[in-house]
Every structure is written in structure tokens, then in C-alpha cells.
């Protein structure tokens, strides 16, 4: 290997320079953490991990000692009991969520955990859900030990407050059961009905018809009473709320079909419409199933609980004690270690804190805090451990209090009627009048029994199968296509909501800007090679995020020996080389004059300012184009929690008629949306951090933008991958077009209904007509809708920067 070639870590694939490399077993590693993982795997004959995929690991940031303390709370029997999925004598089963699972090597190594510890009897990975289920012998191995094993090979499970409170997962397999039973009955009934359609009379029919009819009847019972159950429930619910939804018509249709068919076979007057009935239920359930699509690894309902730890280390006198978060009271002192989240508001008592609030604000630059400063819950400590004194308990912290506010609980119950339900209202009214008028006509001209026959026939044929199928298949298909292009929606209803949007509100930090990338710009006189080396050496030892950025900026410079160096927290770094004194830091520290409001670091050599580093937020590419496109059809707003220092940069970048709001608190954002809604606007909010959560909930459609779908996103209606933001106009256009497709399919459905009604009113609706008409209408609608939605979502495939 030539020395010029870039080295990559054997474990995690990180590129590194030669002098940072840790060599072990003739393999390069970027850090001791990665090396340790390799060591453990290699010792236990699991080195094949590195053969399935190259550099399959995730950078191991945890150090052994930290692991030891971090999971002490798992020894608490109360916590353990809540986390276990199954406990039967010595055998225990636990299911972990491990965000690091990302490749086939992960699956392999996690399913061979028994090689790391003989008391682990079995482990099984669910890759899409990023879960691993471990079966172990509880009398030889504790839960804590298992978690420590996982953490030691860089697969730390995420155990959050949510795991404690959540009820054990409810399975939603019912729909699949219903579908299976409906399909089974439908298929068999079709076969068994056939003889009577072909032959009207004769020995065969007379002999076997009763048997077939009762068999068919028996097959129909589970369909009506089990498979179609949800439609009856929903219809009753609708009636109670005095809303006419499409399920009322369906339930009515099923009831009439069932009663009339039963009457026919009881009296021996006919074969009944059982095949149409079961077919109807089968197709409806199919639509429901198609519409239901779940992204196992995403959650739209997350709140702070899925992020907060279960327990912290409390300090009682000199002793450390593990307590559950809910038992933490104001006045308690507790420890927060590197990468741990502060669970309650508190005052910093010991050591220097570097708090990353990215989960709250979307701003990734950590903030420095000194002893005596107030720390808000939700921040993540970076660096050494800190001691905090709680000033509130977990339910009364700033963030958690936000969560319990009404807006979050309301759950948007302002029942916006879906397209289908809106149409069904009129539809129901029209059908009932037709049934009544036709019945009246036949009662007058013929006999009342004929009238009943005709009325039931109208209700049967009008059963809005095609109507009920259009939206599920159209929106379901769009949902799937969007998901394929990394715009994940909560459910099909969101597609419809998207089509009605007229206003879009953007959050700035983390949404318009990239979350973790800052642009570094140097202004001032050109630095000599020696100056560069000295500056690089000065910032090398510092943990401050700005220092690290500067360090990376000088990646070509070499390291120098300094005579003296000291870091003054919150101000800067001072150093001496020979006769020269260097200062790097804030304006007052270096004695520079600063006019700009942006983040700056000055370089001072012997009281002379050499220059300044300016840190600028890095805007996502394609923003001007995106806004220009959206500006044509939507009213646009930009909200920001930051001060206005980026305003000029934004104004240069985006259309001039945008409305900006700076210094917006969490409540301001939410109220802003609410005020717009009062003006009758339909709003889509795009944000990312927890500080947008209120606004996301309040908006008609709240979309959380995320660069990494594995990490936390506030609860929302949809999750959009960061680099897909520029495709937003296309997504919105497709949502709009899908609405027109549904209108079209409604028209086709009505056409079928008119034909069907023709048969019904004239008293010609025989079972065979119904058995042909119903499936044809359903299938043709499904094909029509699926084809068209496929065509319109094709445009998503094109290159991002086109059009």
C-alpha cells in the first residue's frame, strides 16, 4: 500500500490520515472503539462479519467504561420485568430495537450472538423493523449483560422511556384473517353457484340444489359476521355521529343482500345473491388491505418518550444510585455522561457542558454551558460527564409540558370529510329516493311484494363497491410510490389532504439548511504555511465544535510543537510559539471589531488580526428553484427560531415576496399556523426538530424532514428524506392529479350504477346479472385507477434537478 493512498477503517470504513490510524492485526482502524469490536468478533470466530460486506461496522463511539455505567439501570427488577417480552422459568425473551442494523453482516453477527455467550440460546433479526429478539437463560445471564454484549460490538439497543409505558405490541393481523376467509368463501361459492346458472331445471338441479344452496349459505355466514364486521362497526359509528359515510351504504347493501338471499333459499324461490355478497366483501377488504401500508422502521407517533432514557444515575451523598426518570424530583442531583440525554430541566453544577440540542431545535452546533447555567431537558451532552441539579420533574419540564398541551392531544378531530364520504352523502340520498320511487311505482301498478323485490334490488345494485374502491386504490398506490421515492406518509388520507394544500410553511434551521454541515469561509490575509500549522495544532486539542471544523479546514497542514497552550472556555485558545503569541476565538477575546451577527472566529497574532473564519449555514441545494416553482401555486412562509442574521442570505436566495418570521418560539410557530388556519388556509408545515412538533401537529399536513430516517422525527403526517425536498412540487402535483383520477373513476362507477339500476328498477336483476356486473365494475375501477396513478407518478423517476 502506498502511503499516499487513503486509509479506511477496517471496521467502519471511515477515511483517515495515517498518523491517526490505530493498527491491529495488520489492519487499520480509525479508533480504539472500532479496534475493540474487531478484537471481540475475531476472538469469537465471528470475523466473517467483515467478509460478508466490506467495512460493515458503524463507528464505535462508546468506550468500555461508559458501557459499564450506562446500563446499570437494567439490573432493576422492575425495569427488567417491563422490558421482557416473555418469561417462563429460566427462559427469557427480550426484543431490542437496534438503530445500527443496516446490512447483511449485521444480520449475520446478531444471529450468531450465541458464539459470544453460551447462555444466549437464540437470536433472530427482523431487518425491516431493526429488531433483534434474544432468547436466553435468565438464571445465568442478566438483561444488562446482554445489552452490554450488544453495546461492546457496536450494536447498542435503544431503550427508551417508551418501551416501559407501551403496552405489548398489538397485532393487526385481523384484516388478513378477514381477507383470507372472504376470499375462501367467495371462491367456493362462485364454483358452487355455477350449476344453477347453467341449468335452470332438471333432475340434477332438483336433487342437488338444496345441498348447494345451504352449503353456500354456511360459507356466507363467516363472511357476513366476521369478515364484514368492520363495515357494520363503522356504519354504526357514523350514524351515532350523524355523519353519512360510505360504510353506511355498504353495511346496508350487505344486510339487504344477506336477508333477501336467505329469504330466497328458505322459501325455495331462488338461489340468492351470495356470490355477489361475498365477492363484494372480498373486493372491499382487498382495497382496505392495499391501502394499508406500513413502514416498519418509521414511526409517525413518536414523542419525547421514544427518545428519553429510562433511568439516570442519581447522586445521594457520595453514592451513585440508579433511579427511573419518573422518580426524579426537583432538587435531586444526577449524572449525565457523554452522549446521554438530559431528562429534566436542571442547573449545571459541575464540569463544563457541551449540549447538542439538535433533537429539539434542529440546530446541530452544540452549545457550551458553564456551571450555574440552566439546562433544558432534551439536550444531549457531548464530552465528559456533568452533574446537574433537577429543578423540575419530568412531567413539568419545558419540553414535556409542551407535549401535554391540548393541541397535541386534540389529534386533529376537526373531522375533515374524505372525498368518498362527501360523495356518498349525496349518493345515499339519491339511491334511497330512487328505491322509494321505484317501489311506489311497482306497488301501484303491480303488487307490494314486487315493490319490495325492486327496492331490495336497487339497494343491492347501488351498493357502492366501485365508489368505495376508487380512493383506497388510488391513494394507496400513490402512498406506495411516494414511499418508494422516500416520502413516507402516515396513511392514504394524507394524500388527499396534500391535494388541498394552499399554503406552505417552512422551518429554517435543519429544514432549509442542512442539519450538520456548516460552510466555513476564511476572510483576511493569506495565512503562511507555518501559521496554518500552528492554528491546526492549537485547535487540535479542543473539543469545541468550531475548533473541529477549523481543524478539518486545514487538513493539509502539518502539526507543530507549541511552547504553551491553554483553552479558556467560552472564549478561545491562546498559544505561544517562540516569540509569537497566537489567539483564536471570539471578538472580545482577540480584540477584534465585529459587525456581523453571524458566528465568527478570529485569528490574532501578536495583537494583529490575521483574519476571521465565518461559519455560515449550509443551505440545501436547489432551494431557489424549489421556491420559484412553489411560489406559483402556494403562499410561502419561512419561520425560524434563530435571530435574523441569516435574513439577508435568505433574501438573496429565495423569491422576494416570501414572508419571514424570526425569533419564533415553539408556541409562536404553532400559533402562527393556527392564525393562518383561522383565515381559512390549508397549511402544510415542513419542519424537523421537536420545536416544530406543535406546528406540525397543528398544520393540516405536517411533514418532518429528515436526512436519516433512522433518527428521531417528531410526530407528523409524513416523513420526507432531506434530499427529496426539491421534489416537493412534484409530490404535490401528483397528489392533486390523483384527486382528479378519483373523480373520473367515480364517473365510471356511476355509469355502472345506472346500468345496474336499469336492471333493478325494471325488476330484472337476477342473481346472474348481479354476479357478473359487480365484479366487472369493481375490477375495471381498480385497473383504471392503478394504471392512471402509475402513469402520473412516473415523473418522480426523473433526475432531481430537471424541469
Which CB sits closer to another protein, 111 or 597?
111
Residue with cell 495544532: 537
CA 530 to chain centre: 49
The verdict on 111 binding another protein (CB under 8 A) reads yes
CA 86 to chain centre: 28
What is the sign of the dihedral through the CA atoms of 186, 189, 191 and 194? negative
Question: How far is the C-alpha of 559 from the C-alpha of 565, rounded, in Å?
Answer: 14
The verdict on 42 binding another protein (CB under 8 A) reads no
Residues contacting 19, CB < 8 A, separation 6+ = 559
Over its C-alpha atoms, the chain yields an Rg (Å, rounded) of 33
Kindly state the cell numbers that stand for 649. 442570505
Question: How far is the C-alpha of 10 from the C-alpha of 553, rounded, in Å?
Answer: 25
Which CB sits closer to another protein, 155 or 518?
155
Residue with cell 454551558: 369
Residues 224-247 as b or e (16 or more Cβ within 10 Å = b): beebbebbbebbeebeeeeebbbb
- Which range, of 73-81, 203-211, 538-546, 774-782, touches another protein by CB under 8 A? 203-211
Which CB sits closer to another protein, 171 or 411?
171
The verdict on 330 binding another protein (CB under 8 A) reads no
The verdict on 118 binding another protein (CB under 8 A) reads no
Residues contacting 142, CB < 8 A, separation 6+ = 74, 75, 80
Which CB sits closer to another protein, 110 or 604?
110
Residues contacting 531, CB < 8 A, separation 6+ = 603, 605, 610
Pick from 12, 146, 161, 181 the residue near another protein by CB under 8 A. Answer: 181
The verdict on 107 binding another protein (CB under 8 A) reads yes
- Which range, of 91-99, 105-113, 661-669, 672-680, touches another protein by CB under 8 A? 105-113
Residue with cell 447498542: 156
Question: How far is the C-alpha of 582 from the C-alpha of 574, rounded, in Å?
Answer: 6
- Which range, of 84-92, 178-186, 301-309, 453-461, touches another protein by CB under 8 A? 178-186
The verdict on 64 binding another protein (CB under 8 A) reads no
Which CB sits closer to another protein, 215 or 623?
215
The verdict on 289 binding another protein (CB under 8 A) reads no
The verdict on 177 binding another protein (CB under 8 A) reads yes
The verdict on 168 binding another protein (CB under 8 A) reads no
The verdict on 408 binding another protein (CB under 8 A) reads no
Q: What is the 3-state secondary structure (H, E, C) of 598-665?
A: CEEEEEEECCEEEEEEEEEEEECCCHHHHHHHHHCCCEEEEECCCCHHHHHHHHHHCCCCCEEECCCC
Which CB sits closer to another protein, 108 or 263?
108
The verdict on 41 binding another protein (CB under 8 A) reads no
The verdict on 221 binding another protein (CB under 8 A) reads no
CB 489 within 8 A of CB 718: yes
**Interface mask toward another protein for 120-149; x: CB under 8 A:** ----xxxxxx--------------------
What is the sign of the dihedral through the CA atoms of 288, 291, 296 and 299? negative
The verdict on 297 binding another protein (CB under 8 A) reads no
Question: How far is the C-alpha of 621 from the C-alpha of 726, rounded, in Å?
Answer: 8
- Residue 112 CB, nearest approach to another protein (Å): 8
Question: How far is the C-alpha of 761 from the C-alpha of 445, rounded, in Å?
Answer: 13
Which CB sits closer to another protein, 108 or 553?
108
Pick from 119, 208, 660, 662 the residue near another protein by CB under 8 A. Answer: 208
- Residue 539 CB, nearest approach to another protein (Å): 44
Kindly state the cell numbers that stand for 309. 432514557
The verdict on 215 binding another protein (CB under 8 A) reads yes
- Which range, of 74-82, 100-108, 317-325, 481-489, touches another protein by CB under 8 A? 100-108
Which CB sits closer to another protein, 192 or 423?
192
Which positions lie near another protein, rule CB under 8 A? 45, 48, 52, 104, 107-108, 111, 124-129, 173, 176-177, 180-181, 184, 187-188, 204, 207-208, 211, 215
Amino acid at each position: 500500500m502506498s502511503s499516499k493512498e487513503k486509509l479506511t477503517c477496517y471496521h467502519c470504513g471511515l477515511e483517515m490520515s495515517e498518523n491517526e490510524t490505530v493498527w491491529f492485526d495488520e489492519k487499520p482502524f480509525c479508533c480504539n472503539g472500532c479496534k475493540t469490536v474487531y478484537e471481540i468478533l475475531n476472538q469469537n470466530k465471528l470475523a466473517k462479519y467483515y467478509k460478508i460486506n466490506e467495512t460493515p461496522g458503524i463507528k464505535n463511539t462508546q468506550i468500555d467504561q461508559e458501557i459499564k455505567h450506562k446500563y446499570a439501570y437494567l439490573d432493576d427488577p422492575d425495569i427488567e420485568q417491563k422490558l421482557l417480552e416473555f418469561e417462563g422459568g429460566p427462559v427469557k425473551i427480550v426484543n431490542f430495537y437496534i438503530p445500527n442494523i443496516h446490512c447483511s453482516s449485521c444480520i449475520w453477527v446478531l444471529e450468531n450472538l450465541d458464539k459470544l455467550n453460551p447462555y444466549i440460546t437464540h437470536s433472530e433479526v427482523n431487518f425491516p423493523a431493526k429488531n433483534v429478539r434474544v432468547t436466553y437463560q435468565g438464571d445465568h445471564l442478566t438483561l444488562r449483560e446482554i445489552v452490554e454484549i450488544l453495546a461492546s460490538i457496536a450494536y447498542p439497543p435503544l431503550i427508551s422511556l417508551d418501551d416501559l409505558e407501551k403496552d405489548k405490541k398489538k397485532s393487526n393481523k385481523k384484516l388478513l384473517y378477514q381477507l383470507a376467509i372472504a376470499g375462501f368463501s367467495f371462491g367456493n361459492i362462485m364454483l358452487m353457484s355455477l350449476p344453477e346458472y347453467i341449468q335452470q331445471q332438471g333432475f340434477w338441479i332438483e336433487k342437488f340444489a338444496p345441498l348447494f344452496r345451504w352449503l353456500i349459505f354456511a360459507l356466507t355466514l363467516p363472511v357476513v359476521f366476521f369478515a364484514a364486521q368492520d363495515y357494520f362497526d363503522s356504519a354504526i359509528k357514523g350514524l351515532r355521529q350523524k355523519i353519512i359515510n360510505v360504510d353506511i351504504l355498504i353495511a346496508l347493501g350487505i344486510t339487504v343482500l344477506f336477508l333477501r338471499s336467505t329469504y330466497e333459499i328458505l322459501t325455495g324461490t331462488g338461489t340468492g345473491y351470495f356470490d355477489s355478497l361475498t365477492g363484494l366483501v372480498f373486493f372491499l377488504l382487498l382495497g382496505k388491505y392495499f391501502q394499508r401500508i406500513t413502514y416498519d422502521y418509521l414511526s409517525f407517533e413518536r414523542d419525547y418518550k421514544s427518545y428519553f432514557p429510562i433511568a439516570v444515575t442519581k447522586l445521594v451523598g457520595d453514592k451513585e444510585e440508579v433511579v427511573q426518570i419518573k422518580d426524579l424530583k426537583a432538587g435531586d442531583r444526577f449524572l449525565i455522561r457523554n452522549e446521554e440525554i438530559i431528562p429534566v430541566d436542571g442547573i449545571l453544577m459541575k464540569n463544563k457542558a457541551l449540549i447538542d440540542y439538535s433533537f429539539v431545535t434542529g440546530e446541530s452546533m452544540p452549545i457550551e454551558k458553564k456551571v450555574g447555567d440552566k439546562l433544558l431537558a432534551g439536550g444531549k451532552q457531548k464530552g465528559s460527564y456533568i452533574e446537574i441539579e433537577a429543578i423540575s420533574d419530568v412531567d413539568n419540564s419545558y419540553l414535556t409540558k409542551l407535549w401535554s398541551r391540548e393541541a397535541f392531544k386534540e389529534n386533529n378531530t376537526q373531522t375533515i370529510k374524505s372525498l368518498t364520504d362527501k360523495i356518498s352523502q349525496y349518493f345515499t340520498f339519491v339511491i334511497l329516493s330512487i328505491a322509494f320511487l321505484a317501489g311506489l311505482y311497482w306497488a301501484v301498478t303491480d303488487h307490494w311484494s314486487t315493490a319490495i323485490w325492486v327496492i331490495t334490488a336497487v339497494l343491492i345494485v347501488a351498493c357502492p363497491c366501485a365508489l368505495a374502491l376508487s380512493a383506497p386504490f388510488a391513494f394507496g398506490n400513490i402512498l406506495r410510490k411516494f414511499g418508494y421515492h422516500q416520502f413516507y406518509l402516515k396513511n392514504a388520507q394524507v394524500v388527499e389532504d396534500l391535494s388541498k394544500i394552499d399554503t406552505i410553511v417552512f422551518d429554517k434551521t435543519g429544514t432549509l439548511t442542512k442539519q450538520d454541515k456548516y460552510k466555513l469561509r476564511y476572510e483576511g490575509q493569506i495565512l503562511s504555511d507555518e501559521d496554518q500549522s500552528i492554528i491546526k495544532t492549537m485547535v487540535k486539542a479542543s473539543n469545541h465544535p468550531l475548533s473541529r471544523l477549523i481543524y478539518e479546514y486545514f487538513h493539509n497542514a502539518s502539526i507543530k510543537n507549541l511552547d504553551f497552550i491553554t483553552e479558556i472556555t467560552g472564549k478561545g485558545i491562546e498559544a505561544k510559539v517562540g516569540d509569537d503569541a497566537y489567539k483564536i476565538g471570539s471578538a472580545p477575546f482577540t480584540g477584534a471589531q465585529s459587525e456581523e451577527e453571524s458566528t465568527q472566529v478570529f485569528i490574532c497574532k501578536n495583537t494583529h488580526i490575521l483574519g476571521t473564519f465565518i461559519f455560515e449555514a449550509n443551505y440545501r441545494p436547489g432551494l431557489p428553484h424549489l421556491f420559484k416553482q412553489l411560489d406559483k401555486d402556494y403562499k410561502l412562509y419561512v419561520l425560524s427560531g434563530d435571530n435574523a442574521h441569516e435574513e439577508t442570505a435568505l433574501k438573496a436566495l429565495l423569491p422576494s415576496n416570501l414572508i419571514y418570521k424570526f425569533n419564533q418560539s415553539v408556541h409562536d410557530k404553532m400559533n402562527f399556523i393556527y392564525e393562518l388556519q383561522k383565515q381559512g388556509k390549508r397549511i402544510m408545515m415542513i419542519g424537523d426538530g421537536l420545536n416544530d412538533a406543535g406546528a406540525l401537529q397543528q398544520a393540516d399536513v405536517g411533514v418532518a424532514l429528515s436526512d436519516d430516517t433512522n433518527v428521531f422525527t417528531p410526530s407528523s403526517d409524513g416523513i420526507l428524506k432531506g434530499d427529496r425536498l426539491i421534489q416537493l412540487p412534484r409530490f404535490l402535483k401528483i397528489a392533486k392529479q390523483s384527486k382528479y383520477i378519483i373523480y373520473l373513476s367515480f364517473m365510471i362507477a356511476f355509469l355502472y350504477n345506472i346500468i345496474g339500476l336499469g336492471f333493478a328498477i325494471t325488476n330484472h336483476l337476477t342473481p346472474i346479472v348481479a354476479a357478473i356486473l359487480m365484479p366487472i365494475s369493481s375490477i375495471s375501477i381498480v385497473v383504471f385507477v392503478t394504471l392512471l396513478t402509475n402513469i402520473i407518478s412516473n415523473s418522480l423517476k426523473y433526475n432531481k434537478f430537471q424541469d
